[in-house]
Amino acid sequence: MFERFTKDARAVVTEAVAHSERAGAAAVDETHLLLALLDRQGSRGSFALMSLGLPARRTSVEEALAEARRRGGLSRADADALSGLGIDLSGIVSRVEEAHGEGALNPGRRRGPAARWSGHRPFTRDAKDVLTESLRIALANRDRRIGDEHLLLALTARPGVPAEVLADHGVTHASVWRVLYGEGEAKAG
């Protein structure tokens, strides 16, 4: 499938791997893909994000992603569901971090002497699903190649932390779609 990616989409995947490495993560996840999309300039995906004002709020996006990692990768919807069952996720996170250190619940953090990673870095199931969904979106639009805009649309279409954080910042599947393919508005070309 990677051969169907545009130069910009390949750069996003490569940068996602670099974000994963810098974070000391065991694998590349969908949040790394989102961070890599935020790094792009001069592409259709970056045009959509710029049009929706997201680069100006990058710090807020990074803080929201960090908070989700602190919750063990759970979205706010997951935390709310647990709260409805009488489970205080904030209290659990605090107790675990008191005992094991800050970020102990971070699902992708490597621990111990093997924390340094060398060689191939795998993608999580969710990250692979984003890549697969981007292919579906490209095919549905009759696009011959998968661009970074398809990766962005895939991130906004799938439930989870990246879609939640993007939506909190005004970037939804519908708003990205309007910017990229909408009628009578500025469109990415």
In a domain, 86, yes or no: no
In this predicted model, what pLDDT tens digit does every residue of 35-70 receive, in sequence order?
Answer: 999 999 999 999 999 999 988 888 999 999 988 877
In a domain, 106, yes or no: no
At 110 the pLDDT is 47
Top-confidence residue, 100 or 114: 100
Residue closest to 134 by CA, chosen among 116, 112, 153: 153
In a domain, 130, yes or no: yes
Residue closest to 36 by CA, chosen among 59, 18, 56: 18
In a domain, 149, yes or no: yes
In a domain, 187, yes or no: no
In a domain, 94, yes or no: no
Cα–Cα distance for residue pair 174/12, rounded to 1 Å: 22
Supply the CATH number for residue 153's domain. Answer: 1.10.1780.10
Cα–Cα distance for residue pair 110/131, rounded to 1 Å: 24
The pTM for the full model equals: 0.78
Domain count, the chain: 1
pLDDT(165) > 60:
yes
In a domain, 61, yes or no: yes
In a domain, 155, yes or no: yes
- Domain boundaries, position 165: 2-71+122-181
Cα–Cα distance for residue pair 127/132, rounded to 1 Å: 9
